[in-house]
Amino acid sequence: MKILISTPSAETAKQLRAILEPADHECIMPADNRKTVEDVYANSPDLIILDVALTRPSVYNMLAKIKAAPSTWDIPVLVIAPVRAVPSVKRCFSLGAYDYIYMPFFREAILARVRNISYVANKMKEFGKLLVRDYLTGLYNRKFFMERMLEEIAWADRYGEPLSFIILDIDHFKKINDTYGHSCGDEVLKELARVLTGMLRAHDVLARYGGEEFVVLLSNTVHDDAFAIGEKLRAGVEESEFNCDDKGNRLPVTISVGVATTEISHDISYAALIKQADEALYQAKAAGRNKVCAAGRA
């Protein structure tokens, strides 16, 4: 497991590393405990261990942020506490902590807790996929995407980063369904999801928005780079092979793409960003389809 450990005590961190690393766990120690939450986003750990002694921000503040974010709420959290810190542990539980470990550390107890958490977390992830994934393509569904978009807008606003949004759909998809059948249309949607996933960066968020529409959230991505990604997706789909039978008959699948970017996020809402990209998509279709158009760009 990848385990992120945040504690103000160098000795505590050393002891935990000595217990966990020989058991084949990867330990991540934030260089600055004040940026623990940011390190959680950056490293996507399987388990987080927080010391109740953390201050500025407090362990409670960190827990609240981790459990409030769609992309981190399901990461299990262990808290480190002294034997007599019952009120602190109770408060951590109320904020979503999974379990606790007392000092002085008992190696076998810690490893057993980690094993149990790993088993439960894996089962919960399997269940969670049913809630956040589209049943056909395996991509994120619209509900999860909207929650993540709100989170990314707040992040961009806090750190003054650009944020880009892409919406795309399959050209003449109804014709594919009418000509070849809905089962063929489903195969095209699944293949498109695979093609798009292969062309995007690991941190880009791709979702099926509905029907033949797909959306992509591009964090910390400026206008020109977002347009280039949109063009890469358009060209990649046009060059890919789509077929619905074993005869190798290729279907002429293309997409139209709308792109919108906000450089100053505090003046933008998720609804406005979607509206801008949707209008750009309409322009791409009006221009003949199989094109990319961006809000504010000819």
What DSSP state is assigned to residue 52?
T
* Residues contacting 124, CB < 8 A, separation 6+: 74
Catalytic residue among 151, 152, 187, 212: 212
The CA distance from 20 to 116, in Å, is: 14
The yes-or-no answer on residue 279 being catalytic is no
Q: Distances in Å between the alpha carbon of 90 and those of 85, 96, 108, 202, 298?
A: 9, 10, 23, 37, 57
Nearest alpha carbon to residue 135 among 189, 66, 58, 84? 189
Supply the DSSP string of 152-193, one letter for each residue.
HHHHHHHHT--EEEEEEEETTHHHHHHHH-HHHHHHHHHHHH
Residue 280, H or E segment = helix 270-286
Q: Are 208 and 190 in contact (CB under 8 A)?
A: no
The CA distance from 47 to 10, in Å, is: 19
Half-sphere exposure of 139 (CA within 13 A, CB side): 28
**Residue 107 has which token pair?**
């190696």
**Residue 136 has which token pair?**
């056909």
The CA distance from 205 to 155, in Å, is: 15
Beta-bridge mates of residue 293: 258
Angle at 83 between CA 79 and CA 84, to 5 degrees: 105
**Residue 132 has which token pair?**
């956040």
Please identify every residue annotated as catalytic.
Answer: 212
